[in-house]
Amino acid sequence: MRLYNRINGMELKRRMQDSTETRTTISFYKYYHIKNPRLFRDHFFILLDKLDVLGRIYVAAEGVNGQMSVPTANIEKLREAFDTIDFFKGIRFNYAIDDNGKSFFKLAIKLRDKILADGLNDKSFDVTQKGTHVDAAEFNALADDPNTVIIDMRNHYETEVGHFKGAITPDVETFRESLPIIEEMLQNHKEQNLLMYCTGGIRCEKASAYFRYKGFKNVFQLNGGIIEYARQVQEQKLENKFIGKNFVFDERLGERISPEIIASCHQCGKPCDAHTNCANDACHLLFIQCDECAAKYSNCCSTKCCEFNQLGDDKKILRKTEVFNGTRFGKGRYKAFNKDHSLDMS
């Protein structure tokens, strides 16, 4: 039985782009003590592969976290397949909003130490003692309360393109580094309502338990994250307090929640919120690029990367010694290297 993909990734991408099959992007997570993660991983792969599910899923002893592209016609069968696993029964699926279903091109289920890299000592607190879940209407009511502090638990490159009105958006690159920074920022707010949100809910699930353990009294988390909030806002015709785009970790790199564009092209500065990865595979920097700059720099982050991509066989040798923006700076840190004039943007 095949338990992993054996076809070239570029070919799989081509097939997905050419496909006319209607697909839906779904995310999910579940904290649960899995005794044999490897055995579960293999069983889960077989179950999903039969339904032509594509996606990226992490399995660990603490549970499962995944994002999937599913043939729309197979969604009910997918629900039935999940229900054959006891701890998945009744699990919430988060359905993407701005979606063509072409979010993944292969199925990859990977074993991890944790389903979320948090840097925490889980033995120090009980992750099940999480904050109070709130839906979109309850979130809006809390957000209007002057005694509420709204915290974005995502990274800077996510919040740059979209966030809730009035939210604190820490300048962090990983969830791991955000927890102590946010704790320090909120030391004088332990009696206020702490209202947290993230993309699909998983980061808040653990963060809310952490902050309760740290002494915060009134901890709330947006159930289902921004994805579920957007769906409820549409269905219930609620006020949308989210502005801009919701960054997502798949081929789309974002789904539009409101028409506002709050970010700028990292190369020319014009309003733009389209993330991309530098076309130079030796760089692969994540940054924001408008259509005009994409054409000017051949989808690259710099003149250097653009020229490097035009080289022949020398690329294989040079990429071992050349330093590109993606090897110097973290995700979305484009402004950092503009300041030291390390790029020739002429």
- Single out the catalytic residue among 198, 204, 265, 278: 198
Query: CB of 94 within 8 A of CB of 201?
Result: yes
Angle at 140 between CA 231 and CA 245, to 5 degrees: 50
Among candidates 206, 198, 37, 181, which has minimal Cα distance to 116? 206
CA distance 163 to 165: 6
User: Residue for token digits 């072409």?
Assistant: 102
How many Å apart are CA 346 and CA 339, to the nearest integer? Answer: 15
The Cα 254–Cα 274 span in angstroms is: 8
Measured distance CA(289)–CA(273) in Å, rounded: 8
| Distances in whole angstroms, Cα of residue 193 to Cα of each of 108, 171, 179, 186, 217 | 39, 22, 17, 11, 8
**Is 198 tagged catalytic?**
yes
Cα 258 to Cα 148: distance, rounded to the nearest angstrom: 23
Distance from C-alpha of 261 to C-alpha of 273, rounded to nearest angstrom = 6
The CA–CA distances, whole Å, from 281 to 150, 284, 324 equal 37, 5, 10
Q: How many CA atoms lie within 13 A of 65 on its CB side?
A: 21
Q: What pairs with residue 27 in β-bridges?
A: 67, 94
The widest CA-to-CA distance across the chain, in whole angstroms, is 62
**CB contact at 8 A, 149 and 194:** yes
| 186 touches 149 (CB < 8 A) | yes
Catalytic residues: 198
